[in-house]
Amino acid sequence: MPRPPLPIGSYGSIRVYKWGSTWRARTKYRDFDGSTRRVERSGRTKAAAERNLKKSLSQRNKVQGSASLTPETKFREVAEQWMATVEKAVNAGRLSPTTLDQYRSNLQRHVLPALGELQVGREVTVPAVESFLQTLRTHKSASVAKTARSIVSGVVGYAARLGISEQNPTRETSRLDGQPKKRPRSLTLQERVQWLEQLESDDKAVRWDLPDLSRFMLATGVRIGEALALYWSDVDLTNGRVSVDHNVVRVTGKGLIRKSTKSKYGERTLPLPSWALDMLRDRFSEAVESDGPVFPDTFGGLRDPSNTRRVLRETRGSDGFAWVTSHVFRKTAATVLDEAGLSARRIADQLGHSRPSLTQDVYMGRQSLDRDAAEALESALDIEAPDVSGG
C-alpha cells in the first residue's frame, strides 16, 4: 500500500549531515500546488542548519498566504487575517474607517473573549454562536450583538472560502431584534422657537454654535456629522444652496477626518430657505477662514460630532426638551416636508436616504433638487404659521 502524501503545507522528517566545514539540513515539503519538493539549508553547526531550515519552511508557509490555515486553526488567528482584508477594503475606499474601528472594538471586547480559542472549522458551530449572540444581546444590546454577528460571519465566511470551514453558522442563528422602536417625534413650531430662544440665552450653547447649527439642520434635514463637515466651498450663497457630500468622523490614530458620505445617495445639493441663507451669509461675513468649516471648533478646524452632541445634552435643559437629540432636527425637517405634501421620494432625496424602488432610482434625478423643499421649509421657523406638526 503506497505511503499517503504529506498534508499540504507540511514537511517530513529532517535529516542533518556534515558537508565539508558546514552542516546541511534537508527535508521534503509539500507545496500548496500539491507537489512535494526537497528543501535544504546549511549552517555552521548542526543546530544552526536545522534552525535555518525550519525558518525557511516557516517563511514558505507565509509566502503561500492564508492557505496554511487548517480546520484546527483557532478563531483568533483567522480573525486576524480577516481583519487585514477589512483594512485593505478601508484603504481602497470600499468601507468606512468608522466601520473598521467599530469592528476592532467589538472583536476585542466581545467576540475574541467568547470564541477566540475555538477551532474555526470544528468548534465554531451554530449552537456556540447562537449562545454567544443571545448572551451578548441580553447583557449588552441587540445593536452590539448584530455587529458581533457581522464579525463572526465575516471571519467564518473567510475561513469557508479558504476551504477550512464547511459552513457559516451565523446563517442559522436567530434574528437579533431590538426593542420596538418608539414613534418618531419631531419639534412643533412653538417648540422650535422656544428651543432656539433657550440656546441663544445659554453662553455655552452659543460658544458651540448650537443655535445656528440647529437652524441649519432644521433647514436641510442633514445629519450632525454632515453639517459639521460643511466647508464654505460647499456653500453657494449666490444661488442659495449647499452641497452635502461629506461627514465628520473620528478615526483611531488619525483623529477627526472629513470623509465622503456613506453612499452616492448621500451626495446631494440642497436649496436653502431664505432664513437659513441669511444665517449663513451672516456667518460668512464674520468667518475667520473663508475656505474652512462653516461650523468650526475654537481653532478653526473640524468640530467633533460626539462632543457637540454632549454639549447639546448639557444645554437642552430638563424641562420639555430632555428628549431632544441632534437627530430630532432631521425628523422635524422630514415632518415639515411631509405636511407640505412632498412625496416620500422627494423627502428621501432631501435626507439622502437610499432609493425606495429601483424604478424611481433609475428614472428620477437625485443630485439636485428644485426649490419646493426650500419653500416648504420656509415655515419651519415662521412663528406666524399655523402649528400643524402634531408633535
**CATH number of the CATH domain containing 193:** 1.10.443.10
What are 95's three cell numbers?
Answer: 468601507
Q: Residues 253, 333: one domain?
A: yes
Q: Residues 39, 131: one domain?
A: no
DSSP tag of 109: I
Q: Residues 258, 113: one domain?
A: no
Span 45-70, average pLDDT = 76
On the question of pLDDT at 108 being above 50, the answer is yes
Return the amino acid letter for 126. Answer: V
Is residue 167 in a domain?
Answer: yes
Q: What is the CATH number of the domain that holds 165?
A: 1.10.150.130
> How many CA within 13 A on the CB side of residue 376?
26
pLDDT of 279 reads 96
Residue 35 makes CB contacts below 8 A (sequence gap 6+) with none
Q: Mark which of 142, 172, 202 sits at the end of a domain.
A: 172
pLDDT of 359 reads 23
Q: Residues 233, 101: one domain?
A: no
Span 221-250, average pLDDT = 93
Is residue 338 in a domain?
Answer: yes
Return the amino acid letter for 327. Answer: H
Longest pairwise C-alpha distance within the chain: 102
Span 169-191, average pLDDT = 81
pLDDT of 319 reads 76
> pLDDT band for position 376 (50/70/90)?
confident
Segment 249-272, tens digit of pLDDT: 888 778 888 888 756 667 889 999
Is residue 83 in a domain?
Answer: yes
pLDDT of 363 reads 28
H-only helix segments in the chain: 46-64, 75-91, 97-106, 112-115, 126-139, 142-161, 189-200, 203-207, 210-220, 224-228, 274-286, 305-315, 326-339, 344-351, 358-363, 372-377
Least confident range from 10-14, 117-121, 341-345, 369-373: namely 369-373
Distance (Å, rounded) from C-alpha 371 to C-alpha 314?
Answer: 35
- 288 touches 295 (CB < 8 A): no
Is residue 6 in a domain?
Answer: no
Whole-angstrom CA distances from 329 to 189, 211, 311, 388 are 12, 12, 16, 16
- DSSP assignment string, 289-309: -TTSBSS--TTSSPPPHHHHH
Is residue 114 in a domain?
Answer: yes
Q: Is 84 exposed, middle or buried (0-12, 13-18, 19+ CB in 10 A)?
A: exposed
Distance (Å, rounded) from C-alpha 50 to C-alpha 174?
Answer: 51
Is residue 249 in a domain?
Answer: yes
Q: Residues 339, 362: one domain?
A: yes
> Rounded to an integer, what is the distance from CA 347 to the centroid of its chain?
24
Q: Residues 285, 326: one domain?
A: yes
Q: Residues 351, 211: one domain?
A: yes
Q: Residues 119, 227: one domain?
A: no
- Does this model's pTM top 0.85? My answer is no
pLDDT of 345 reads 82
pLDDT of 160 reads 87
Count of the separate structural domains present in the chain: 3
Closest CA relative to residue 150, chosen from 118, 173, 128, 131: 173
Is residue 390 in a domain?
Answer: no
- 380 touches 192 (CB < 8 A): yes
On the question of pLDDT at 353 being above 60, the answer is yes
Q: Which domain holds residue 54?
A: 15-67
Is the torsion defined by CA of 57, 63, 67, 72 positive or negative? positive
- 348 touches 356 (CB < 8 A): yes
pLDDT of 197 reads 93
Q: Residues 21, 143: one domain?
A: no
Segment 276-296, tens digit of pLDDT: 999 999 999 998 888 899 999
On the question of pLDDT at 233 being above 90, the answer is yes
> pLDDT band for position 340 (50/70/90)?
confident
Q: Residues 303, 355: one domain?
A: yes
Is residue 179 in a domain?
Answer: no
pLDDT of 178 reads 65
Mean pLDDT for all residues in the chain: 85
> pLDDT band for position 179 (50/70/90)?
low
Span 216-231, average pLDDT = 94
pLDDT of 204 reads 95
Segment 204-221, tens digit of pLDDT: 999 999 999 999 999 999
The DSSP bridge partners found for residue 243 are 269
Distance (Å, rounded) from C-alpha 278 to C-alpha 284?
Answer: 10
What are 141's three cell numbers?
Answer: 444590546
Q: Residues 266, 152: one domain?
A: no
pLDDT of 283 reads 95
Q: Mark which of 35, 50, 67 sits at the end of a domain.
A: 67
pLDDT of 366 reads 42
Q: Residues 368, 234: one domain?
A: yes
Whole-angstrom CA distances from 260 to 95, 111, 134, 232 are 11, 29, 34, 16
Using only C-alpha atoms, what is the Rg of the chain? Answer: 29
